[in-house]
Structure 1
């Protein structure tokens, strides 16, 4: 419990859990920076392990809030593929360069967000159906990047956003998908030895903050129309993409320095 006596950790945890709460409340994508914030004051792998129980607590609240607003076709397509992606991520975790994954996802997210925000044709395009081949691909990528980086949001958004689901349906589907993904990630994290008693105690201490921030995230997102919601989501996706590319660039410079 030494972490709880570290002022730097407490500040980082407040922002990380708060941002994750906004993400779980409906602002998908924002939560991707939660783990990197914690990684500023603790080892990255421990930061990811600490965030996992917190995400599970936030998932439970979000699932209750958005129950009944789920696109089951998307879940049926994405979730089995995500399981495969998580398994691949577990077995390749020791061999993969995180900065390469960050760079690829960052570029894809940035391009998609720019296209959606600044090109009218993308905005006016008819809604797409939940396509099986594309869903299998992006579902597997979401599972893989979630296992490695807790960064499954961008691949999910790239696949689901063109379907132009109603706001709560999009959030409910995202909530169920990532709740399932996070629970599936628990055994791999246990086998890696990262979810130890000390980490779980710190996560439990932060649980009330996790619930409060998720509650306010839900309240905030419901103030926006579906159209405004998607614009905000695309802005967040753009910021996330740029952040991932920046982080990848910094890591590459450090690697070759």
Structure 2
């Protein structure tokens, strides 16, 4: 493997750690990082495979409780719309997808940084909409966990329950889009060599993230994560427009 590929795996580990601690999920960091190494459609494929392993790790390590009603309210619409998003992604230009991703990351980070106390009502309607939008963005852009996280935060779940419930929903979302991406041709032979490494990274990254959660305030780390998302979004947009 080349040095560039080793760096990619190191960045994937970093994405998994801060995704676990920050509460956004690793894809919000992993997708733009992977975009510097692969074409965008391949990024969608490798992200889905990585996230399946990542979510299984989180379910195993944060299994102290699961909120079944949120799995139904958020999970079902998320799975339906991630399939729709995955189908849409096949018909969108890669250049356009990269621009949309950059704008999405910038807008998302600024929204959370400016509206620090942003609250979504804890009811079925908001849960359904949060699940639908998170699934749609996951299917089209490869990342939608932040929208789901914002929606789930309204239900004031205990930290371990929050992560485990989110991971179960995300697992079904990623499993569904993996199938769609496979038939879209997004999962290519060139990324299969990375899968064993990414499985190990998902386990190590989740474990290290769990350890960090015991020592660092989640609010403090989330704020740091948001500034990082903002910088990644700006870099992604700049790369799409000028490189």
- The TM-score bracket by the shorter chain reads 0.7 to 0.9
1:115 aligned residue: 115
Shift of 1:58: 1.9
Shift of 1:217: 1.3
2:124 aligned residue: 132
Q: TM-score normalised to the size of structure 2?
A: 0.83
Match of 1:209 among 194, 198, 201: 201
Relative to 1, partners in 2 of residues 1:235 and 1:81: Cα closer, same or farther, differing over 3 Å? Answer: farther
Shift of 1:152: 0.9
Gaps of 5+ in 1: 117-121
Match of 1:160 among 149, 152, 155: 152
2:218 aligned residue: 229
2:69 aligned residue: 73
Match of 2:169 among 141, 159, 177: 177
2:17 aligned residue: 22
Is the contact between residue 54 and residue 203 of structure 1 (CA under 8 Å) also seen in structure 2? yes
Relative to 1, partners in 2 of residues 1:58 and 1:95: Cα closer, same or farther, differing over 3 Å? Answer: closer
Q: Which has the larger radius of gyration?
A: 1
Q: C-alpha distance in 2, partners of 1:149/1:75?
A: 22
Relative to 1, partners in 2 of residues 1:21 and 1:159: Cα closer, same or farther, differing over 3 Å? Answer: same
Aligned partner of residue 52 in structure 1, secondary structure: helix
Is the contact between residue 88 and residue 140 of structure 2 (CA under 8 Å) also seen in structure 1? no
Q: C-alpha distance in 1, partners of 2:38/2:194?
A: 13
Aligned partner of residue 163 in structure 1, secondary structure: coil
Shift of 1:108: 4.3
Q: Encode CA deviations 1:51-94: one digit per residue, 9 max, x unaligned.
A: 33222222112101112322222221111111232122123212
Q: Report whether the alignment pairs 1:82 with 2:71.
A: no
Report how many residues are paired: 238
Relative to 1, partners in 2 of residues 1:161 and 1:239: Cα closer, same or farther, differing over 3 Å? Answer: farther
Q: Encode CA deviations 1:110-164: one digit per residue, 9 max, x unaligned.
A: 2233222xxxxx38xxx87532221222211111111122211221122122333
Q: TM-score normalised to the size of structure 1?
A: 0.79
Relative to 1, partners in 2 of residues 1:74 and 1:23: Cα closer, same or farther, differing over 3 Å? Answer: farther
Shift of 1:23: 4.5
Match of 2:35 among 35, 39, 42: 39
Relative to 1, partners in 2 of residues 1:206 and 1:161: Cα closer, same or farther, differing over 3 Å? Answer: closer
